[in-house]
Structure formats: C-alpha cells, structure tokens
Structure 1
Amino acid sequence: MIIAFIFILVGIIFMIGTLIYTRKKNNLQEVKPIDKSNIKKGKKTLSNLWGIDGFNNQVITINKNQHSIIIELESIEYSLLHDGEKANVDRELISIAQMLKFPIQFLEVKKQIEIGDMLEEIKISTINANDNVKEYANQIIAHLEKLQEDQNLFERKNYMVISSFNNRKVAESELKEFYQLLRYHLLNIKVSTRLLNDREIVELIYEQLHKGNKNKVADIEQKGGFELYVTDKTRKKD
C-alpha cells in the first residue's frame, strides 16, 4: 500500500504538471467519449460498447488513441522491513518517480480463491499412490475443504496501467522499454513484476465489469461473446 500511495501521489503531480504544460501549448490530448449513436443500429462489439479497439502483443488500445500495458505487481510488506531495507525501498521509489513520463493508474483486485480445481487435481494425481501418500493427500484435501467453506477467503492482486498517446508502433516500443527499466528498479527492492498477455488483459477487464460472475472468458469467446450481434428486438424462429 505504501508503494501504491507514493506512485499515486507522484502520478497526480506528474499529470497536473503535464496538464498545465499542454494547455499552454494548446495541444492537450483527451480520451474522447464513446459515440454510442451506432450501437442501436445493430452490431455490438468491444469497440462500441467499451471503447476497446483491440489487444495485440500485450498492448490494449482504447478509443483509437490510447495504448496501454498492464503490469502485475507483487506486494511488499513495508512495515515488516528493517530500517536499512526501508531506506533502500525509499531510494528506489524516488528513482522511479523521477523517471516517470507516462500517465499511470493503479488497480487493486480482490478475488475469491477458487480451490475446487486444486482438490480435483490432488485426487487424480494420487489415485495410484501408496497408502502413506494417499493419507497425506486426504489430510490436505480435508484442510482445503475447510478453507473452501469460508466464503471470505480472498487474494489481492495489484496492477499498474501505463499509457501512451503516441502512434501504436511508437507507443508499444516506448511502453515496453519503460517496463524493462521499471522492472529493474523494482527487482532491486525484491518486488517482482509481470506483463499481462492479451488473454489475461481480457480476463481482467471482464472480471472487473462482471464481478461475481463465474463465467470463463474462454467459453464466452468460443460462443462468440466478443462479437455480440443483435439485428432485431424479436428473435426469428428456426
């Protein structure tokens, strides 16, 4: 949370400074609202419903002019560090703040832990095991089943969204170059990072727009859910 707070504060200062500068230059780039006038005409897609133009090579394009990457950040328990470690973290965060040149956003996702697949995998993998292994596996399964009964069992994931308004090719190059530099600085304070791939970006967006929905993105995509098509209020009979 300390890291997120510092980044957010720096991001606000950066964006305010950028806003003042660009207004003076009369060259402020804005994300335009979605024109929904054509949605009622028929085809409903990711673009005209959400303003998402596509995902390619770990970059998401929104409203045709905003290109973003999404980075998963590992948490750090700042309060548990000793003074020397805290000083090192502070130095690295200051270095990161000084090199920021893109708009950034932070997202914290709280997701209920699903362990049903894990239980099934343990059962299948120990079918032919000896008695000692089976007994140990049964103990693990019993423990996990008790955990599963707790509906308030969640895991937290932290994400950083970094955006560029340059053309698509330039944006991808500079965003990924910046990510490598950011990754280096965060590794110095033992914070691992990971760049989300296209499928993970889709899943993250879907989960945030449909919280509590247990449908899987892969199943929705297979059934044509990303190209929802409506031609008439009344459905024709086969």
Structure 2
Amino acid sequence: MAKSTGTQLAAAARTEFGKGAARRIRRAHQIPAVVYGHGQEPLHVTLPGHETMLLIKNPNALVDLQLDGGATQLAVVKAIQVDPVRRAIEHVDLVVVRRGERIEVQVPVRTTGEAAPQTVVSVESGTLAVTAEATHLPEVIEVDVEGLQAGTLITAGDVKLPQGVELAVDAEAGVVNVSAAPTAEELDAELAEAEAEAGIEKDAPEDEAAEGAEASEGGEESSKE
C-alpha cells in the first residue's frame, strides 16, 4: 500500500530553544520538530501532539505541513526521538520532498502465509531499503512464506516489490529465513547450557533426592553397627 497525498499538519515556527523550551512545548501537548532538505535552511517548528502521534504510526509518513497557517510544504518523516522510559515523542525530523522526486527509505518487512509444518520463520532484516516516488511510498513490504520448506532463504532480490518501487540494497542480502523447528531435546540442551552459563543450579528430582537420602541413612546405620 502506498500514499499518494500527504496528511495535513499545522506547523508553527519555533523561536525558543534548549531543554527548558522543549519541556514547555511538550507540556503544551506539542512536539518540537525540524524541517530540512533541498538546500533550504533548517526550519524549527512545533507540531500538534495528538495528530503527530497518529501520523507517525505509519512509517515514512508523507506530510503536507501548513506553515503558520500560510504556505504548505511537502515532507516525509525521517527520524523520531522517543523517551526510553515514558515512550513519549521528544522530537521529529522531517525531510522536504517534491512531487515526482524519487527518494530512498527504509520500509518495514512483514511476512504473510504459513510456512511448512515444523519450521520457524525468521525475519533477517526488519526493514528493506528501497527507492520510490515521494508521494507513493510503501508503508510495508510483504513477503509470502506460504508452504516454504526448511532451508529456504529469501533474499532482497526475491522480494516482490510494489509497482514503481526499486531495490536499494544488495540483491543477495538475506531478508527472510525458513529453518527447521528445534526438537524438544535441542531446546532442553539449550536451556541447560544457558542455565550453566548463568550459574543456575537446578534442584535434584524427588526420586534422586529420595535415593540419596536412603543411601545416607544406610551409611549411618552401618556406622552404628
């Protein structure tokens, strides 16, 4: 799926800078942002908090910025800074684009379908670098794994891209790997190895503990005799 038009978003010029100013902006339910690209001077703005949060749920979101209620500027969300604890958006970077311009973006990879039984599907690369027209950027790249057998590796060159989208990475790069599911014995061995590395000692099973206790009692009786 691709977008052909941007989401309208009001942007107000920002004249205050620094951590204190940024905190005041966020307390007012707004988000600090910067708009740059095409040789223009970086433009520092504030964006409406709620609308921006909804917008960035879509990767590579296309935005029609309305600057101080006047001219509009087409831009793409480039980077998002998020507070690691509160998970609140702290800052957004937007890159100026033009209609008809091709740009490179990282698009999330999502698998569809079910691989063969007793297999595990691993996404080797969570995103795929592609180029596309700025107003038709794909939101996700789907990779079909229906019925694939263990040992199958899907490379970037194997991925079916939407019309007008071109690969921007090595075609031999791995994207999705289908491998054999581990057996119960292999899982137990991995768990035991991990516990040993962590220094975890497991209690002996009840039957082994009982045998040990009986042996101990027998030794005591022998010593009494």
Give the TM-score normalised by structure 1.
0.20
Q: Answer with 1 or 2: which has the greater Rg.
A: 2
Structure whose residues are more often helix by fraction? 1
Structure whose residues are more often strand by fraction? 2
